[in-house]
Amino acid sequence: MRHVALVFAILGGAALVIIAARYGYASTDNPTDALFWGFLYGIITLGGLFGHGFALRVWRHDRRAGAFIFAVAAAAFIIGQSNSLGSMASRGNEATAKRQGIADDVEDLQKQLKTAGAEREKLQFDPADEKTVSSANEEATNATNARIRECKSGRGSACIEKEKAEEQALAKKTKATNDKAAADRAKKLDEEIIPGLRKQIKEAGPVLETNSQGSALARLFGGEAKKLLTWQNLAMGTVAELLIAAAMIGYEILTHAHHAGQSRLPLPQAPRTAEAVAVRVREPRPVRDELEPDETQPLLERPKPVRQVTSQREPFGNVIDIVVKVMEPGGGDKVEIKEAYFAYAEACKEQGKKPFPPAKFAAELKRFCEEAGIKIHAEEHGVYLLNVRLKASDERELEGKAS
């Protein structure tokens, strides 16, 4: 889990540092200044994200230095929040401007489409083409010529009739011309202008709210959309950086706990069955030396058997012999090493012997567990022997008398 936290912190932190550095780089048009501001923004964000975990590690060695580093990291974290907020706001401005431009273009095209539609509705005409206009022109020309011939000798009744006929023919010509013009315009509107405008509106893209997120927050909570969006961006940036800082702190704590557990007693590699323990605990063990053990001896080195000096008034109690008497296989049970040592010390006292110190006892017990196949497990609150249990005091007394 601690490695997962470390990977999460590194990947997330790298992304935020790059975003902050990019925002600083884009804050100026001068290339040299852009590099400087990009580095400055990135290093401040880096300190705000990972400084807390570093402060925690230093705290274990020097509390003043750790507190100072933590305060500096907290200041960098606060400044990094303003940088993150500015980066998100600038990105929002670009998106807003793009959406606003699309909305303006679509609005203009829709106005043109509306105007073209209104013009098309106003066009009232009879079907007319080039042949209709030619026929009307010819009829008007003939009526004019007839009126001229009839009215040469004076404006009598026949002349007046020809004038009326000419007037009707000219009106018919005018209507035919207007009908054809209206028909041509209607055809252009129906086949070119209106479909073209609709196509342009479709290609311009969907019209989105310029501040859809802020508008949604405003509808949900009420208030000004831009202000609510700013608060929401600040919350996002803060939580993102807090998650990375928390991951680094958690990694430091878990790593420290892991190493602390390993330093107390290493775990064996291959646990064996409880039946093997029951067989092996009956094997004879070499007599332990009654002298004070060498604390520098490696834990994994098998101590050499030394002839016991019987003349000593208070020899040391043999760890393996006593452990075999006070413990027995127990499926699912476990015994803390401290409890095993207390039982060993009590047995030594009953036998009138002196117990080994805890470090030597742990070394002997570890060697015995490796040979007997007893699994050792380090937990947060202690180190335990698995699948064994301590015998009751009356059982130990009976076994001691029998031996």
At 112-170, the pLDDT tens digits run 999 999 988 998 888 888 999 999 899 999 989 988 888 887 788 888 888 899 899 99
Higher pLDDT, 126 or 398: 126
Confidence band, pLDDT 50/70/90 cuts, at residue 271: very low
217 closest CA partner among 235, 209, 229:
229
Between helix 63-122 and helix 31-59 the angle, nearest 10°, is: 140
CA 213 to chain centre: 19
- Distances 392 to 56, 197, 225, 370, 399 between C-alpha atoms, Å: 45, 96, 73, 24, 11
Look up residue 356 and give its DSSP letter.
P
Structure confidence at residue 2 (pLDDT): 75
End-to-end CA distance of the chain: 50
Looking at the chain, the whole-number percentage of residues with pLDDT higher than 70 is: 71
Dmax over CA atoms of the chain, in Å, equals: 177
Confidence band, pLDDT 50/70/90 cuts, at residue 37: confident
Q: Write out pLDDT tens, residues 341-389.
A: 999 999 999 888 999 999 999 999 998 998 888 889 888 778 899 989 9
Confidence band, pLDDT 50/70/90 cuts, at residue 307: very low
86 closest CA partner among 120, 41, 55:
41
Q: What is the mean pLDDT of the chain?
A: 76
Cβ 238 vs Cβ 3: under 8 Å: no
Q: Write out pLDDT tens, residues 77-116.
A: 888 777 776 766 666 566 677 777 888 888 898 899 999 9
Look up residue 190 and give its DSSP letter.
I
Structure confidence at residue 14 (pLDDT): 85
3-state class (DSSP) for residue 149: helix
Structure confidence at residue 4 (pLDDT): 85
Prediction pTM value: 0.35
Structure confidence at residue 181 (pLDDT): 93
Cβ 354 vs Cβ 315: under 8 Å: yes
Cβ 364 vs Cβ 268: under 8 Å: no
Q: Write out pLDDT tens, residues 311-336.
A: 445 588 899 989 888 888 887 788 99
